[in-house]
Structure 1
Amino acid sequence: MASRSCANFLHLVSGDLLDIPQTPRALPRVMTVPGIISDMDSCSSNDGDSDVTSSGVRERKIIVANMLPLHAKRDGETSKWRFSWDDDALLLHLKDGFSPETEVIYVGSLKVDIDVNEQEEVAQKLLEDFNCVPTFLPHDLQKKFYLGFCKQHLWPLFHYMLPMCPDHGDRFDRILWQAYVSANKIFADKVMEVINPDDDYVWIHDYHLMVLPTFLRKHFHRIKLGFFLHSPFPSSEIYRTLPVRDEILRGLLNCDLVGFHTFDYARHFLSCCSRMLGLDYESKRGHIGLDYFGRTVFIKILPVGIHIGRLESVLNLSSTAAKIKEIQKQFEGKKLILGIDDMDIFKGISLKLLAMEQLLQQHPGLQGKIVLVQIVNPARGFGKDVQEAKKETYMTAKKINDVYGSPKYQPVILIDRPVPRYEKSAYYALAECCIVNAVRDGMNLVPYKYIVCRQGTPNMDEALGVKPESPRTSMLVVSEFIGCSPSLSGAIRVNPWDIDAVAEALNTAITMSESEKQLRHDKHYRYVSTHDVAYWARSFSIDLDRACQDHFSKRCWGIGFGLGFRVVSLSPSFRRLSIDHIVLAYKRTNRRAIFLDYDGTVVPEASIIKSPSPEVISIIKTLCDDPKNTVFIVSGRGKTSLSEWLAPCEKLGIAAEHGYFIRWSKDSEWETSPVNADLEWKKIVEPVMSLYREATDGSNIEAKESALVWHHQDADPDFGSCQAKELLNHLESVLANEPAVVNRGQHIVEVKPQGVSKGLVAEKVLSRMVNGGEPPDFVMCVGDDKSDEDMFQSILTSVSNPSLPVAPEIFACTVGRKPSKAKYYLDDTADVLKLLKGLATATISKPRGLPPIQRRWYMPDTIRMGYMPMRWLSRAVACKRQNLLKMINFLSAEPEGKLTCLLKYGTECIKASRLMTTDADSKSALRDLAAGITDYQSELKQLRQSVEELESGRNNTRNEIAERREEELNFLKDLREQLNSIQSELRSRKPKEPPSPTDEASLVPLTEAMMYFWF
């Protein structure tokens, strides 16, 4: 591998450190653009450390969630903490979907506060015994993070509740947001303590940790990162009210895979990305993907399942069978309707009770025959809204029991206490119908558990005396606003706000025939049993692996500050265009072809004024005035606008409407493309586009001489994109037999003649230059649009054109870091302007004396004639590195050429040394020269290694490489011996006068050439 000194040396030569050939090794994990610092706090990313390739063997998955799947309590005797697994925790069960060899590490908080003095001991114990890494949040931070931002802001907003007034939620508090970010940062630190970023997969869960991906991606650009949201994701109209909406969206987009329970939630997320970040998504082979700065963020739609084995083990308990018998006796002769919900304003418990009241009122015959048992799980929050919901629930239940109850019959039974699993399972097994009436919920697994318990187990059937062949039935009434609703096609779906409809659904459920109940139950059980938690985890893991498979085949840069950080991922051959590098290439070439796009390249895309600035006009005019240059503006705009805006540039070539019209200079006539001059298809296209313009507010039609363009940049993003897809399909169908093509670009749908493209313009210009006897040795093309890709492809293929005597220097450059056929990129139009300004400056500046290649060969003659003033040589040696690099860049940009140039330079140094006198100045200069040659010996060795690696890539034989290496080493040895000989000779030589010139005037050009060579 090239050393750091060699890397810096070559970086100065080429302007691009990535050109260094290196020994084969794993692609580094992180490549960050120098000078871009994106840290918002003390967690500065150490990119140097993160390049170290780790060597993990066993596959690991790091599961990160707000809470660890653990129970914690103090031992009464020892006062030590005792921990045990929480068997009901979803995160504990998901590891059943991984292979047995997979190591699972959990990162999260404990449900209890641990004293600071005990945290280290507890952390060690949890890591050793449970493979858990606890995050100890300070109490105040934990309160602001969880009870503050999560429960007061995110939870209500994600459930479609806006703080319209102080009585309905809290207004946004920036302090709580900062606490949320700080907590996520602590989680990130804990993950980084245990992660092997090259091999481990990280799976983050739920809305508590939505900016955690940004912190992790900032440190490890190629980290394998998945996220699953267990709550609803609101519509864009709700979500856009969140003041930190962009930071959270970008946090999720720093993942490789983002999972949702339903398509509705995913659709809302995609809509937010489109409306707020301008991102479009596409579906390929069943997978939805968002292109985010060269990375594809995949979207996964997958409802979570339950752990059936765990539930069946509870059903097999003797305590469960005993409880079932007890409940049967308690509600003998009555049909049981079951509801199990958290005490939460979004669970719709009071609406469920009102529906029960309506059912008893509309169907008096059911009074005394049905009972609604409502189990209320303890509330997770302690806000005023929870207390109000609880109060309303009790008042409604009391009202129903007072009106329709009796001393021996209560239609509503409220169980507001912690209920053990076996008791819940008993109620599930006996309920004729289960109702889940939430007004908004992420998934809700109550229906799944109900179906499994109604199916029963052989052991439970035996304990209860039920025959195994007995038919199994179940009935579900579920809200259409919960995540499991789309998966349960046999359930009766209801709008929980429609009390009458819910009451009627309950009546339908309890009066339905047994055969119908059995069919619906069987259908549900097949789905639930095959889509359990293991299936869910396995499917997500497979898709996460697929999403990350291209990580190490691309180059990555980190850009942005704070929570706006993101990673740009592009092809390994794609790099930023060095202006110094292209200017040097520009100077050493004699016939140049330059192609420039207009909008988004020389003029900003977002600019209201579309005409070029005076500075742009001046630069383009300078380039055009150079007789060595052929400059073309290639645009999709009309010829009238372009010719008017670019009128001062008389020698500029213009290709308008993607090349349908071409003009070689201001004095020449416009040429029309001979391909498909028939434009009768415009009569078909214009009425169709007019319909879409009228139906899409904010859209408009641009009529060109050869094309029609429908713009929707000012329309609603979602609707405009949808209409563009429809218009594209519509036009393709009606133009199937017409000589026209339909293309969709950025906010446009364009119809143009077949055989017209920017690529053909480039081919035509290059062909004309070759036929005119002036083949280009420099070709540059800069563009930002999809239509420019044809131009990039055309000039790249020109390298292999046999009609060109010498392969030209090719610079295909796109504007913006995005996937492209171009090899180079510039960030924006400002960078393009800098590039053109650099070329224009090189055009204006005139070199002194002879051309660089010719100047070099005057050096031996000048030395032989003795006219190398000592101060010149001393100054030149002091600037040895800069001088050397100038000469190297004049001669070659390839490592092999640089090596040859270095060897020749060493020979010239020896010639100069032998002709120097022994006066004081010359001795000082010689010492400088000796030190310089010693330094160059080191550089030669490093460069020789690079050339050797380059030749290895060309499949050279081992003998050829060995011979080349021996030859170079022999030269270095000879160079050192000659230098020592010269130094010994100088020490023994007596001073003498330098030779005098015979004709001083005739040597002036030689001395000028010598000075220019050195400086």
Structure 2
Amino acid sequence: MKFSRFGILVIGSLLVVVVGISFIHFQREQTALRDDLNRRARVISKSLAPPAIRILKNPPAIDEEDVAERLEGQGRTIGLMICNLEGKPIALSSTLTDTVTCNDEVMATLESGKESILLDEIGGQSLHRLILPLKDRTGSLLGTLTIVHDSSYITKRVTSAVTWMTLSLAILAIVIALGTYLASRRSFQRSVTQLLDWMKSSKSAEDLPPPTESLLRPVSREVEKLTARLRAAKETAKEVSEANRVSNLWTGARLKGHATFSIGNKSLIVVSNREPYMHVKKEGKQRVIIPASGLVTALDPVLRATSGIWIAHGSGEEDRDFVNSEDKILVPPESPLYTLRRIWLTREEEERYYYGFSNEAVWPLCHLTHHRPHFEEKDWQSYIKVNEKFADAVLQECGKDQPFVLVQDYHFTLLPKLIRERRPDAVVGLFWHIPWPTPESFQICPWKREILEGMLGANFVGFHLQSYCNNFLDTVNSLLPVRIDWDRPGILHNEGLTTVKPFPIGVQLWSERGVASDERFREKANMWRKELELNAKRLIVSVDRLDYTKGIPERIGAIDRFLEKYPAHRGKVVFVQLAAPSRVHIPRYREFVTEVEGLVEQINWRHGTEDWKPILFLKSHHDPETVYTFLRMADVCIISSLSDGMNLVAKEFVAAREKGDGVLILSEFTGAAREFQDALQINPYARADFAEVIRVAIEMPMEEQKKRMSRMKAQVIEHNVYGWAANLITEMTQTVEVGISSRQDFQTSKYL
């Protein structure tokens, strides 16, 4: 058997440890035995010191021999020697006659007047000598007393003990090394076996997880990426082949094929504030949820097809527990196809960048609802810092090939320029999900030019409506030294061309979202009707975030006016408002919630009875199944936004009408109003007209309902979210060739 380098390293390390321990034990054992012999010699010397002193003072011949021979044969004591000041032996044991004399060491002890201990090899013997200076009562030196012991047993005993210990440790070390080697070899073999099994399973229908043993962890990361790419390619090929049977309708499969064909092996990076998968704790357990977001619905299929990277703020309370050392996680959890990289923000950054500048400055600035924007220098600086943090993350993910970056919404106006400055070859798109105001409204922003210059770092900027595009072009034209190409349309500037186009977003059909089946819907509908005591009453429904742009007070006022003007409908109609709390850290949002709740209480008190409340205000984060249930139950859906980029609830209501009935009341200030001419459009500020439209909707004949709903549903199906995403992908690939020539055109035009 050939040992691996790892095994040799382990064995070598253990041997070094064994030798070290043996040496330390040798030193300790030898020191202990010597100390014991020293104590024995001192005891003997102290007991023989008085007679030795008398001999030195008056040395009778007989006593000399008695003292000198007294210790012979006493264990390891060989004998003694008494020397006078002249260095002559006064008494000497016969066993020491040929080995010990009053030599220099004895004379040195006389000179120092201190005890000395010597270990010598004399005459082939290992001797231990303790030399004690002898003094009379006045302190005068008289001579020395030397006690001699055989010390050879120390070496023998230490050698024996160390030998046995060394052998024991060596055997133990070999056993440990062998066990470690066998365990590591088995672990490695198991990892390799798992890797081989996974590679074999990729050829069959069986879907085994990639190996994650510690010895193969670096390889496992690459294996997981390869797994995602192979799975995405397999699914794309399968779905594209099925999609070929369908007409020109955009589907998830067709979108995947389009993305794969357009981008190829180049990396697609999506950047948004909201993440597509969030880890939270519910009922004490960690769970993954998909935020209710049209953006997530639209872009998730694209990332799945391209095995791209989604960079977003990690806002889930349990998000940190699921990422690796690079703050990444493969998603979707059940079948990983692309990478989600989470960016961590401090509480202050989130407070100032998101709640502050994004939602107290940019949001009211772009929504013409007569709410004053709040501009703070500290919020702006935090906004810059967070944009730079996201830019660093994007650039870290850009490979050597030309990257495609799709930036989402008003949270990252500076990001396109930051990317362009460090990766001029990057193709950057920016989609703006909210309205763009008129130049006169936008110019109150203290940092208007910085925002516009940041946005122009993108190859294209997309909005929902052409009117928003026109407002943006007018704003840039009035504030920056650029040339507007109204035919393209686009903006020519020093860095090239930024095209500006409308890309009205759509929704994904409810049947593709895995919501309730017909049986489950009936069960949920009956449950809600019983819980809310709706019985056979006509149902008007609205679904909104609790935001001042949604026109909720105006809607409640119209309900009040409707019940006041048409009392025949009292007790027969119920208005249900599904309201999701939003941005509760911002004072004006908290005040808005209090205002709405006060209005609901007031209207219910004015018109309600003991067994009927005209308005049911359900404030909670409602899951998609609940939203779908109420939209399908409703006879009428009201969208009364004061300003809205598109409003996907209008489209989701239409998509939920399985029987083709129902009436949509839609604010003319929403982007969706341009597409839904068959909706009953209203001005939310005109309360009397609003109330009259509610009456028309409640009393509309079924035939008229179905005629209108049929046309709106065809619009929703044809212009769905997949078509929107496909248009963005197409625009990104087309801007690659256009940018170079456009930069040259602008440079030339400056001299004309």
- TM-score, normalization by structure 2: 0.60
Counterpart selection for 2:673 from 471, 481, 485: 485
The residue type equivalent to 2:670 in the other structure is: I
Matched residue, 1:148: 356
| TM-superposed deviation, 1:125 | 3.9
Are residues 1:361 and 2:568 paired? no
Matched residue, 1:179: 382
Matched residue, 2:277: 70
Counterpart selection for 1:301 from 480, 502, 523: 502
Does structure 2 conserve the Cα–Cα contact (< 8 Å) formed by 1:157 and 1:238? yes
1:388, 1:262 → 2: CA distance?
31
The residue type equivalent to 1:298 in the other structure is: T
Secondary structure at 1:199 match in 2: coil
1:125, 1:212 → 2: CA distance?
23
Change (3 A) 1:403 1:504: same
Does structure 2 conserve the Cα–Cα contact (< 8 Å) formed by 1:374 and 1:412? yes
Secondary structure at 1:112 match in 2: coil
Matched residue, 2:267: 60
| TM-superposed deviation, 1:101 | 4.8
The residue type equivalent to 1:569 in the other structure is: R
Secondary structure at 2:688 match in 1: helix
2:439, 2:643 → 1: CA distance?
16
Aligned pairs (5 A) from 1:505-654: 505-551=693-739, 569-570=743-744
Counterpart selection for 1:377 from 580, 605, 625: 580
Q: Per-residue CA shift, 1:116-165, capped at 9, x if unaligned?
A: 999763714458955012112233222211112112211121113677xx
Matched residue, 1:241: 444
Change (3 A) 1:312 1:64: closer
2:319, 2:505 → 1: CA distance?
35
Does structure 1 conserve the Cα–Cα contact (< 8 Å) formed by 2:362 and 2:373? no
Counterpart selection for 1:425 from 609, 628, 645: 628
1:64, 1:393 → 2: CA distance?
34
Are residues 1:818 and 2:747 paired? yes
Change (3 A) 1:317 1:60: farther
Q: Per-residue CA shift, 1:564-592, capped at 9, x if unaligned?
A: xxxx9327xxxxxxxxxxxxxxxxxxxxx
1:489, 1:228 → 2: CA distance?
25
Aligned pairs (5 A) from 1:788-937: 818-819=747-748
Secondary structure at 2:515 match in 1: helix
Secondary structure at 2:733 match in 1: helix
2:587, 2:345 → 1: CA distance?
25
Secondary structure at 2:270 match in 1: strand
| TM-superposed deviation, 1:354 | 0.6
Secondary structure at 1:413 match in 2: strand
Does structure 2 conserve the Cα–Cα contact (< 8 Å) formed by 1:66 and 1:208? yes
Are residues 1:107 and 2:298 paired? no
Are residues 1:123 and 2:327 paired? yes
Alignment RMSD (CA, Å):
2.9
Change (3 A) 1:162 1:477: closer
Q: Per-residue CA shift, 1:484-512, capped at 9, x if unaligned?
A: 11111111111111111111111111111
Matched residue, 1:273: 476
| TM-superposed deviation, 1:514 | 1.3
Does structure 2 conserve the Cα–Cα contact (< 8 Å) formed by 1:97 and 1:533? no
Matched residue, 1:403: 606
Matched residue, 1:985: none
2:458, 2:580 → 1: CA distance?
34
| TM-superposed deviation, 1:381 | 3.4
The residue type equivalent to 1:527 in the other structure is: Q
Q: Per-residue CA shift, 1:660-686, capped at 9, x if unaligned?
A: xxxxxxxxxxxxxxxxxxxxxxxxxxx
Are residues 1:137 and 2:345 paired? yes
Matched residue, 1:628: none
The residue type equivalent to 2:685 in the other structure is: W
Secondary structure at 2:341 match in 1: strand
Change (3 A) 1:296 1:350: same
1:222, 1:274 → 2: CA distance?
26
Secondary structure at 2:747 match in 1: coil
| TM-superposed deviation, 1:411 | 1.0
2:455, 2:366 → 1: CA distance?
15
Change (3 A) 1:95 1:382: closer
The residue type equivalent to 1:347 in the other structure is: K
Secondary structure at 1:550 match in 2: helix
The residue type equivalent to 1:66 in the other structure is: N
Secondary structure at 2:548 match in 1: coil
Matched residue, 2:43: none
Aligned pairs (5 A) from 1:620-769: none
1:225, 1:71 → 2: CA distance?
26
- TM-score, normalization by structure 1: 0.45
2:454, 2:631 → 1: CA distance?
40
Does structure 2 conserve the Cα–Cα contact (< 8 Å) formed by 1:491 and 1:520? yes
Change (3 A) 1:331 1:295: same
1:229, 1:283 → 2: CA distance?
20
| TM-superposed deviation, 1:198 | 4.0
Q: Per-residue CA shift, 1:827-883, capped at 9, x if unaligned?
A: x9xxxxxxxxxxxxxxxxxxxxxxxxxxxxxxxxxxxxxxxxxxxxxxxxxxxxxxx
Secondary structure at 2:576 match in 1: strand
Does structure 2 conserve the Cα–Cα contact (< 8 Å) formed by 1:59 and 1:103? no
The residue type equivalent to 1:818 in the other structure is: Q
Matched residue, 1:501: 689
1:315, 1:264 → 2: CA distance?
38
Counterpart selection for 1:321 from 522, 525, 539: 522
| TM-superposed deviation, 1:326 | 3.1
Q: Per-residue CA shift, 1:802-832, capped at 9, x if unaligned?
A: xxxxxxxxxxxxxxx6136xxxx98x9xxxx
Residues matched between the structures, number: 484
Does structure 2 conserve the Cα–Cα contact (< 8 Å) formed by 1:312 and 1:453? no
The residue type equivalent to 2:327 in the other structure is: A
Change (3 A) 1:152 1:96: closer
Change (3 A) 1:406 1:116: closer
Change (3 A) 1:397 1:95: closer
The residue type equivalent to 1:345 in the other structure is: Y
1:279, 1:390 → 2: CA distance?
43
Secondary structure at 1:121 match in 2: coil
2:303, 2:593 → 1: CA distance?
44
Q: Per-residue CA shift, 1:719-765, capped at 9, x if unaligned?
A: xxxxxxxxxxxxxxxxxxxxxxxxxxxxxxxxxxxxxxxxxxxxxxx
Counterpart selection for 1:332 from 535, 539, 542: 535
Does structure 1 conserve the Cα–Cα contact (< 8 Å) formed by 2:268 and 2:309? yes
Does structure 1 conserve the Cα–Cα contact (< 8 Å) formed by 2:278 and 2:291? no
1:441, 1:263 → 2: CA distance?
14
Gaps in structure 2 of 5+ consecutive residues? 1-262
| TM-superposed deviation, 1:315 | 3.4
Change (3 A) 1:169 1:258: closer
Q: Per-residue CA shift, 1:90-121, capped at 9, x if unaligned?
A: 34432466497522210111113689999763
Q: Per-residue CA shift, 1:918-944, capped at 9, x if unaligned?
A: xxxxxxxxxxxxxxxxxxxxxxxxxxx
1:191, 1:438 → 2: CA distance?
35
| TM-superposed deviation, 1:83 | 6.7
Does structure 2 conserve the Cα–Cα contact (< 8 Å) formed by 1:95 and 1:104? no
Change (3 A) 1:115 1:88: closer
The residue type equivalent to 2:423 in the other structure is: F
The residue type equivalent to 1:102 in the other structure is: T
Does structure 1 conserve the Cα–Cα contact (< 8 Å) formed by 2:303 and 2:309? no
Change (3 A) 1:100 1:351: closer
1:116, 1:425 → 2: CA distance?
32
Does structure 2 conserve the Cα–Cα contact (< 8 Å) formed by 1:300 and 1:540? no
1:83, 1:279 → 2: CA distance?
50
| TM-superposed deviation, 1:420 | 2.7
